[in-house]
Amino acid sequence: MNDDELTLLNFESELEDPLDELDHSDRQAPDPEVMLALLSDPEPGQRMLAARAFSELSEPRAIPHLIRLLTDVCPLVRVSAAYGLGRNPADVAVAALIEQYHRDFNGYVRKGIVWALGNCRDRRSVTPLIHALKTDIPAVRLWAASGLAQVAHLDYKDIITAIPPLIEALHRDSIPAVRSNCAWAVGQLCRELPSNVVYATAIDALLEALVEDKDMGVTEDAKAALLKVGDPRGLQMIEELEFEGLV
């Protein structure tokens, strides 16, 4: 881990919501005019604070500045810009977010970018989110799974592209929180599917996680996903396991 990543460990915890760690203790809303000006401040600390402010503020005028700050020399500025774009999603930001995801050395910046890509709900995000789910650090994989559920439901072709890697991660990822998010995402996407082979395969994966995963949190999330889908096989399995006291 490099020095920048060590610094960012004090900025956020790996598996939390990307916005949870931002300090919003001062509940007075930032002045958007002041924050817009600070986005171009020569001091990195001022740019970071301004970019963070737009994780609270909805302000279309900030979008071009936040896109520019995705390539800032300071990783804290870059991650704050990503959060700002996640709160102010825009079609024009998607290509820049994807490009920066593939080039950024810092995992915590990539985490913010992946979260923003999910919020943009643009089908161009599907491929990089799948790549992140398969290859990145746990914090990024976690939000890639959630992002796929937000993005892929927009188009049937994207759903059937996203479900196989989500199922693979549900079965094989070493981090329970990632598997839990995959269970949730698979359940969300199942609700958009007709009763076909892809749907049946996804239900099978949730049932397998319900019965075989060793982590209680994952089994609970698989159960919740099945209940929300309302699949008869899933409901019957849950009833049988509850009768036996296994869930």
Tokens 């936040």, residue? 66
Determine the pLDDT at residue 34.
95
Q: Tens of pLDDT along 58-100?
A: 999 999 999 999 999 999 999 999 999 999 999 999 999 999 9
CATH H-level superfamily of 1-120: Leucine-rich Repeat Variant (1.25.10.10)
Q: Which residues contact 137 (CB under 8 A, 6 or more apart)?
A: 14, 107, 110, 111
Q: Tens of pLDDT along 215-247?
A: 999 999 999 999 999 999 989 989 988 877 766
What does pLDDT average to over the chain?
A: 89
Three-state DSSP at 14 gives: coil
| Separation of alpha carbons 220 and 247, rounded Å | 8
The dihedrals phi and psi of 20, each to the nearest 5 degrees, come to -65, -35
Determine the pLDDT at residue 154.
84
Q: For the chain, where do the domains classified as CATH 1.25.10.10 start and end?
A: 1-120, 155-247
Determine the pLDDT at residue 8.
44
Q: Taking Cα atoms as reference points, which of 28, 22, 12 lies closest to residue 55? A: 22
| Separation of alpha carbons 165 and 176, rounded Å | 16
| Separation of alpha carbons 179 and 110, rounded Å | 19
| Separation of alpha carbons 5 and 87, rounded Å | 23
Determine the pLDDT at residue 4.
42
- Residue 213 pLDDT > 80: yes
pTM above 0.85, yes or no: yes
Determine the pLDDT at residue 10.
41
- Residue 138 pLDDT > 90: yes
Determine the pLDDT at residue 22.
56
- Residue 50 pLDDT > 60: yes
Q: Are 133 and 110 in contact (CB under 8 A)?
A: no
Q: Tens of pLDDT along 168-207?
A: 999 999 999 999 999 999 999 999 999 999 999 999 999 9
| Topology of domain 155-247, CATH | Leucine-rich Repeat Variant (1.25.10)
